[in-house]
Structure formats: C-alpha cells, structure tokens
Amino acid sequence: MPQPFDRTWKLTAAAAAGLLLGALLGWLAGDLATGLAVAGVVETVLLLSLIRHETRHMMPQTPPISPLQHDRFMTRSRRIASSLRDLRSAAGSLPDAVVLLDNEQHVRWFNHAAEDLLGLRRPQDRGAILEERLGTTELAGWLRDGAHEPLNDVVAPGHPNRHINVTLLPFGRRQRLLLARDISHLTRLEQIRRDFVANVSHELRTPLTVIHGYLELIDPEDIPELAPVIGEMRAQSKRMGQIVEDLLTLSRLETQDHVTDERVPMTPLLATIRKEAEALSQGRHHIAVESTADADLLGSPKDLHSALSNLVSNAVRYTPTGGSIVIRWRRTPEGAAYSVTDTGFGIPATHLARLTERFYRVSSSRSRDSGGTGLGLSIVKHVLNLHQARLDIQSETGKGSTFTCLFGHERLLKPGTDEV
C-alpha cells in the first residue's frame, strides 16, 4: 500500500525525471527554451500518468489518515496541480509547434502553435494519426519515410506563407515528440541576402568590364617602367571579374529549384575536361581518364560541365609539378560516380566539413596564388544538389585528395538510348 510519504517522493522523482528527459530532448532539439518547454510537457505527462496510477490504488484502499496528514497531502496535491497547469499553459503558448505522439503514433496532445503551423484542430485531431491528418504534404511524406533526419525549410501545412524546420524526437516506450519551428523570418532574411549579393555582383560587372577593357588597351611596351604594375592590375581585374561571375552563378543556382533535364553525353564531356586540364597544367602533371560507366547524365549540360571541370581545375591547382591526376567515371551500386583523384597537397581533416562554404579556403595565399575565387566548391555543391547528387571528399595531407560526385540511377541514361 503506497504511503503519502512514498507518493510525494514518487511524484518528486517523476517531476525530476520529466525535467531531465525533457531538457535532454530539448537539448537534442537545439535550444534551451524549447528544452524547458519540452521538459514541461514530458513532466506533465509523467506526473499525470503517475497520479492516475496512484489514485487508482488509493481511492478504494487508503486507510483513514489523520487530519494533519490529510491537510498536508491536499496542500501538496494543490501545489502539484497548479504546477501542472502552469507547465501545460507554458508549453501551450510556446511559439514552436509541439505534438506528442503515443506509441501507436496517434496525436496525444498539441499546443496552440501546432494548430497554427500544422493546421491541427481541437478536439477532433486528438487521437488522429498525424501522418494521415497531414494528407499529401511534404511533412506527411517525411513522417511516412521514417523521419530519420530533421526536415528543413518546408511549407507549414497550416499556413502556406510560412516555412518550418521539423524534428521528431523519440522518448519513453516508442512515443515521439514532433517539434516544428517557424523559420519564415530567417527565410526572408536569406532572400534579402541573396538579392543583395546578386544586385551588388550585377552592378559591379559593368564597371569591371570597362576597367578590364582599358587595361587591355594599354601596351606595357610603351611604358616599360610600369609594365609590372600593368601586369598586376590586369591579373587583379581578371580575378575580380571571375569572383563577380562566380557570385552571379551561385545566385542563379540558389534561386533555381530544378534543372532542365537534357542528355549530357559523357564521352565528349570527359574529353573536353581533359583538354581543359591539360591546358591549365601546361605539361606539369600526368593526367589520365578512366571511363567505364557506359552512361550519360541527365541534367543541365552547362552546370554539370562547370561543376565537373571545377574539380579537375582544383586538382591541377593544388597538385605540385610532377604529380598525377586521374578522372574516373564508373558505375556504383547506387548509380554512377565521377571522381577526381590527385597526388597533391591534400587537406587536413578539420577543414573537410567546411570546404563547400563560400570563400572557405584551407590556405588563402595558396588559393589566391593559384587564381582561385574561393567559390568553386560551393558552386559544385549547388549544382550537385540540383541533380539530387552529392559530393564526397577524401583527403590526406601531403598525399592527395579524391573528390567524388555521386549520381543516382534516375540521373543516368544509356548512351544512344533513353534507357537507364
């Protein structure tokens, strides 16, 4: 028979466990405010379950207790009930949508933000299967596919003008907690940033072309004392022009959500890339092509050429004289892989995760000296994303690097036919 004293401890322990579990889930979700609110929700659920369990035994069987014990018990119960109300209303008024799913994935509880962002309605959606309730939205598809990774930047099912990030966190016995955060203001800021970069680049393009044109007109032989200065000015204006072009390419790729699906014949493309690499290398490297995939690509010829040749140009620029570069096009179980392996400087492991960020360089001076803009790999990543492909980078300092573009079966065509 549980004594009131035991119960108090159990309730306290449940509250503490709820707080800890919630804080952990919140921490996994990424911020303290969510952590505390989630702690409230989880704590509420644990406490309510415990109280229900306790009172079930208590009602018929509790022996008479003294008036003093009764008063104490009632005071504690009121305090707990009031804490529960506070926690519930705190979780209820969170700006993030919170949906608690039971072990059969039915909606058990949700807050006001979930009504607004996900379009859930009270009381009819209590007990509904969330996936079915969300119909054919991207969010429903994500839940159906297991929701293994967080889902970023999708349209909120309850609000077509808002964008959300969604995470699904497991807890307890197969229960799950869905958290959705309104990121519309971030999306707007991101749009402003994109427009700004695109506009600035566009505005810089014309004056740079004019400066570059005039510099080309000056013959250094007419003013030999200024010849080195003119050479440097030409090189720098060319570099600025290249940065502007790369920024404009990135802006275009960022605003696109799909590419034209054209056949990209790989045999001629590999031959062109090889020629470009040889021109850049000027005989300083051994360059080889191994093509065994017997497949063409489906996508944007211009963007794919730019991405695939960018990797080769990096290999040439970051491999000392005498090194070798191998370009491979081969089949893989998931589709096909285009890879560029060099015996160059290599990249320390700590830099690998950030290489595709704009202007991220392992060594600024080496990049500048080799004529880099710091935007090449960022462009490669965007082009691959638009082709549902991904970039894998393996590298060892002092030994060399392999950059691999992995394409799925849906992006492959048999040369000369429409078959995959």
Give the residue, chosen from 315, 384, 386, 412, that forms a contact with ligand ADP under the rule CB under 6 A: 315
User: Which residues have C-beta within 8 Å of that of residue 420, sequence separation ≥ 6?
Assistant: 409, 410, 412, 413, 414
Query: Does position 323 bind ligand ADP by CB under 6 A?
Result: no
Can you tell me which residue has the tokens 């707007």?
188
CA end-to-end span of the chain, whole Å? 70
Question: How far apart (Å, rounded) are the C-alpha atoms in residues 267 and 276?
Answer: 15
CB of 201 to ligand ADP, least distance (A): 16
Q: Which stretch binds ligand ADP (CB under 6 A): 23-31, 133-141, 339-347, 404-412?
A: 339-347
Query: Does position 376 bind ligand ADP by CB under 6 A?
Result: yes
Q: What are phi and psi of 241, to 5 degrees?
A: -60, -40
Burial level of 205, CB count in 10 A (0-12/13-18/19+)? middle
Query: Does position 327 bind ligand ADP by CB under 6 A?
Result: no
Q: Helices 266-281 and 301-317 meet at what angle, rounded to 10?
A: 30
Tell me the residue nearest to ligand ADP as measured from the CB: 372
Q: Which stretch binds ligand ADP (CB under 6 A): 2-10, 25-33, 258-266, 312-320?
A: 312-320
> 341 with 401: CB under 8 angstroms?
yes
Task: Please say which residue, 114 or 355, places its beta carbon nearer to ligand ADP.
Answer: 355
Query: Does position 270 bind ligand ADP by CB under 6 A?
Result: no
Supply the Cα-derived Rg of the chain in whole angstroms: 31
Query: Does position 316 bind ligand ADP by CB under 6 A?
Result: no
Closest by Cα among 203, 237, 200 to 217 = 237
Query: Does position 109 bind ligand ADP by CB under 6 A?
Result: no
CB of 19 to ligand ADP, least distance (A): 45
Query: Does position 325 bind ligand ADP by CB under 6 A?
Result: no
CB of 207 to ligand ADP, least distance (A): 23
User: Which residues have C-beta within 8 Å of that of residue 261, sequence separation ≥ 6?
Assistant: 298, 299
CB of 347 to ligand ADP, least distance (A): 5
Query: Does position 397 bind ligand ADP by CB under 6 A?
Result: no
What are the structure tokens assigned to 368, written together?
Answer: 């500048």
Q: 354-373: which residues touch ligand ADP (CB under 6 A)?
A: 355, 360-363, 367, 372-373
Residues that bind ligand ADP (CB under 6 A): 314-315, 318, 342, 344-345, 347, 355, 360-363, 367, 372-378, 401
